[in-house]
Structures are given as structure tokens and as C-alpha cells.
Amino acid sequence: MPSDLWTFALRLYAQPGVEQACLRLQAGGADVCLLLCACWLGRRGTAFAATRADTLKELCEPWQEQVVKPLRSLRQAWRTQAQVDPALAGLRERIKAIELDAERELLARLEQVAAGWPGDEAEQLQDWLQGCAPRPEGLDRDALDLLRAAALAP
């Protein structure tokens, strides 16, 4: 398992079905960066604590609201028009790259916050995912289970 969160997230996201599961979770209100971090912490054996999850959430929320979501909204708003406007399509791709950079920065910040948390406990992936997922009533459980299974895969 990669030691850094970014590499772990890229490898996990590339596994079959994970991208679609993450998009479904995102559509249901989940913070995918937070869930990827939860997978990383759970696999590392970092002991789950609600206070730790809250610390991560407090870091994520303003970054998602002020940086990532506005970029995503702009990119999505241009989807249809960019199909017939090559110049706009190019700009849309640049916005997409900036959005990915913003997510990478968020993952780096999450990793930095968790840097001092020991990772030598037993795997606690389920606890981390439950602690970092949004309210259970609107959550796509199948997508969360797929993400969990992929994170546990060798």
C-alpha cells in the first residue's frame, strides 16, 4: 500500500467500479476526498476516533465549498456548450485540471493533519468510512461497500 495519500487515492480510484461509486457518493452529498482519506487511514491501521473524523471534516468543508465546488459547478455548466464550441471545450479541460489540482491540495492537507496519527493498529476501514460518510439516509450503501472492498483489495 502506498504510504502517501495522493498515490493511494489514485490507485484506489483507478480500480474497477470505484470512479462510478465515488461519483454516486458525491451526488449523494459525500466528500470523496474525505472518503478516500478515510480509506487510507483505515488501511494504514490508524485508530478511528470521532474527534479525528471531525478534524478532517472541519478541514474539508470550507475547501470543498470555497474552492472545489465552484470549479466543479463551472465545469459542469459548460458541459453541453463545450460539445459544440472547441474553444470552450479547451477552457473546460483547463478548469477540470484546476479542479483536480484543488482536490490534490485537499488530500495533501488531509495527509498533513493525519501525519502524527499512528498507523499501527488493526485495519479500521469500516469505522473510518462510517465516521466520514454523510448522513446514512441519503447514502448509496452499495457504492460505499464497493469503495470499501476496493480499498481492502491487495
Ranges of each domain in the chain:
5-152
Please give the mean pLDDT across all residues of the chain: 93
State whether residue 47 is helix, strand or coil: coil
Q: pLDDT tens for residues 120-130?
A: 777 889 999 99
The reported pTM is 0.92
CA distances, 94 to each of 90, 99, 133 (Å): 6, 9, 30
* 118 or 77: which leads in pLDDT: 77
> In which band, very low, low, confident or very high, does the pLDDT at 118 lie, cut at 50, 70 and 90?
confident
Predicted local confidence at residue 140, as pLDDT = 87
Cβ atoms 42, 128 nearer than 8 A: yes
